[in-house]
Every structure is written in C-alpha cells, then in structure tokens.
Amino acid sequence: MEIIGIYNKFRQCGSVSTDTRALKGGEMFFALKGENFDGNQYAFKALEAGAAYAVVNKDSEAAASDDPRLIKVDDTLRTLQDLARWHRSMTIVDGKPLTVIALTGTNGKTTTKELIREVLSVKYRVTATEGNLNNSIGVPLTLLKITPETQLAVIEMGASHPGDIKELVDIALPNYGLITNVGKAHLLGFGSFDGVKKTKGELYDYLRRTSDKVFINVDNPHLCQMASERNLQSDPERPYSLLIPYGLDYQGAEVLPSSPEHPFLRVSFPSLDRVIDTNLVGTYNADNVMAALAVGQQFGVSFGEAAAAISAYIPSNNRSQMVRTERNTLIVDAYNANPTSMEAALKNFANLQAESKAALLGDMLELGEDSLAEHIRIASMALESGIGTLCFVGKEFRQALQNLPDSPAHSFDTSAGLAQWLSANPLSGTAVLIKGSRGTRMENVIESL
C-alpha cells in the first residue's frame, strides 16, 4: 500500500502504537522488529485489543492472513518513519506548513527541550518529545502526535552512531535547529570526538541546505567552528545571516554564586536589572536557560514571560534534581553520564558551599578504547576536588582506581552494593552528588541516604 493510503487510514485512527500493552482502542499498531523482539508476532493480539489496523512485514507469518485490517509493507520501521514525515509535511498552521524546531547535543538536550517547551507554551500550543523518545522510533512517534491544534513542534534528537542525526532530520524536516554542545560521549559508536562533532553537525548540514535558521551558543568554540566549516557565517556583511546567536558572555549575563540559601542556578542580566531563579542544579544548566530564552525571543515570547516559565520549571527523572531527605541534601543527576557532563558536575559540586560532601559516581559507558583513560581522568579530578567521601561504582572505575594507588575512595561493583554499604555506614548532614550512566542505575542509592 502506498504511503498516502496508509496516511488516510492513520487519519481515521488519529494515533499509532508500537506496544500492545498501551492500546486503548482505535490505534494503528506498528509491528516493529528488533534484535530481541518481533512485533509481527503480536499483530493479532493488537487487533484483539482494539487496534483498528496492524502494519506488518510482508514476509511475516501474520501477513499470510487475509484479514483486511492488516497493512502489509516491506519494512514496518521505514513505513513508520515515512508516515511521520508525511504527517509532518501535511500539517498546516495558519495557512503555512508547521514549524519544527530540532535540537540535539551531547549534554543537556532533554533539559533544554523541556525549558523550550515551557517557554513556547506561554504563547503557543506545542507538541514536544516526551521523555527521551529521541531515536529512530521515538522521533516518528512524536511527530505522529502532532494534532490540528499544534502550532509548534519541538523535536529532540539523540545519536550514538554516524548518520543518526541525518536520518532523523530527514524525517522531521526541521525549520530551526539547536545543538546544545558537543562532548565525549558514545565514543564506542562515534569512534572519536571528531566523530561526535560530525554527527551532531548533520543538523547544521541539513539546515544549511534548506537555508533555515540555527540557534547557536556563540560562547562555545566547538559550535562556532562547526558553523564556520559549513559556511553558516560566510557573509561578512551579515555574519549571522543563518544564525541566531545567544550565550552568557555574548549577552552579558552572569551566573550568580550558589549558597545554602540559594542552592539552585541563578542567572543575572545586569543590563536588564533582572535575575532568573531556577529549580535547576549546576552552572552547566545556564547555557540551557540561555537557549530557551533565545528560542522564546525568536517566537515573540517576552523576556518576562520566558523568565517566569523557566523559573516555574521543576526537573524530573533524575536530571539535575535537588532532593532533600531527612538526613542529607542530594544532587541527583543520575540519568546518564559521559566525561564532559561528569567533569561539569564535579566542578559545580566542588564549588557548592557545604560542611560535608560526598560524591557517588557510576561508570561512564560506551567510551570504547578511551574508557580507561577517561575514567582515570575523572577519578583523579574527584580525588583532587577536596570532596570528603568518594564512592565509585562499576568495573571501569574499579580498574581506574587500580591505576591510582593509595586512593581513599570506596569501590563497588554495583549501585546495589553501594546502597548496602551506605545503609551500614549512613551519611548525615551531607551534600551528596549522585551521577552515572543509565546502566549503573545510581538512583538505587537514594533510599539509603
């Protein structure tokens, strides 16, 4: 069946699903196939649960049936992506195609996306990526949630291999793009830091071809270099003809020092005599705030309205959260970790004013041949930071500590092991940083604090 025929059926349904457990009735079910699962096996279960149609692979057993509710295609994932692209292209707002803002980056993209959503929602009806549904499946699912009421879409894009961002922009067809930063992450897939920059830069490549706009933190030399290499600043008379610049230094903003009375990020704008108080932990979030302000300004949201939206935002899902328990104050940034974000978190924590500090750090995964060197570097930084109690989780940090003799740090194979140790050796009156890659499940230690 041609994509236009599938789209007409989708419009009858209004929504799609890839999980039979989430069906409410009337959806178009996509039987996706992966290394460890085959959704085609659940096609009839989906129909029994109320799905209006099931999209299946032509070569699957399910496709042998003559059930008219089956839509048979060569590749269900590719069809899902094609359907999402078609739906995005067919969505018209006030007589014009829907505006899509795409953002990616090594760190901060989800927080930035949430701040942008909050700021734009002051004035517009926004469809944005939920959680971190930012891959080859999540981006199409987000686009297919666009409704006739949607006025702007904010699409987060993740990447772990070369070509990932190119694939996603070719689906979402963005009009604006923003790279939060580039750093050392997923080096196993990218091969090197240059591989990271090349892949993230695929967003710039797309927008250069379409002559659309790029929000850029001009305080970041890596991003400026990436833009310059793509001739986004080629016109000397209009150096930012394709760029919308922002940045703390560029705009004369300042991060105010944290204190026990003001533990959260505060950004001062002396020229405006304004201060934005946030519920975010860490000076590294200042760039995310500036990005949200820049996007808001571009779309007509006043500084005061944007500032209020940013101040009201409370992070969740173990991202830059401050949690106060009966005994301690926790900085929970345990959703993910890489050398760049770990370094930023440690530097911020070292500057935090507290009588007693502890850092509980889990392995940084997917670093390939750079893993040992980066874990040694981060462990050394933590040991030199003056933080009183240091606990490391995972085999990568254990190996790193073996290269740092006479280290006073504690090492554990798993976060569950650390949690058990904390129960036997409780911390009290302590500021605690909790950070690690998703696979280390560092949130397991929270109940012991």
Question: For the segment 169-221, what is each residue's pLDDT rounded down to a tens digit?
Answer: 999 999 999 999 998 777 778 888 888 899 999 999 999 888 899 999 999 99
Question: For the segment 371-401, what is each residue's pLDDT rounded down to a tens digit?
Answer: 999 999 999 999 999 899 999 999 999 999 9
Is there a contact between 113 and 285 (Cβ–Cβ < 8 Å)? no
Is beta strand 176-179 parallel, antiparallel or unpaired with respect to 213-217?
parallel
Model confidence at 3: pLDDT above 80: yes
This prediction has a pTM of 0.86
List the one residue out of 417, 420, 398 whose CA is nearest residue 409. 398
How many other C-beta atoms can be found within 10 angstroms of the C-beta atom of residue 406? 4
**pLDDT at position 414, please?**
96
Place of tokens 């094609």: 82
Question: For the segment 249-295, what is each residue's pLDDT rounded down to a tens digit?
Answer: 999 999 998 776 678 899 999 999 999 999 998 888 999 999 999 99
Angle formed by the axes of helices 193-200 and 164-172, nearest 10°: 10
Token pair, residue 420, equals 């058990």
**pLDDT at position 318, please?**
67
The letter for the amino acid at 39 is G
How many other C-beta atoms can be found within 10 angstroms of the C-beta atom of residue 132? 17
List the one residue out of 410, 413, 431, 439 whose CA is nearest residue 422. 410
**pLDDT at position 260, please?**
65
Cα distances (Å, whole numbers) of residue 86 to 46, 171, 337, 355: 24, 9, 35, 57
Model confidence at 111: pLDDT above 70: yes
Q: What is the average pLDDT value for the chain, to the nearest integer? A: 92
Model confidence at 359: pLDDT above 80: yes
Phi, psi angles (nearest 5°) of residue 117 = -60, -45
Per cent of the chain over pLDDT 70 is 97
Query: What one-character-per-residue DSSP string does 37-77 give?
Result: -BGGGGHHHHHHTT-SEEEEETTSSGGGS--TTEEEES-HH
Q: Where are the beta strands (DSSP E) in 325-430?
A: 329-333, 357-362, 389-393, 410-412
**pLDDT at position 37, please?**
87
Domains and CATH numbers, the chain: 3-74 (3.40.1390.10), 91-312 (3.40.1190.10), 321-448 (3.90.190.20)
End-to-end CA distance of the chain: 57
In the structure, what pLDDT confidence band is assigned to residue 84 with cuts at 50, 70 and 90?
very high
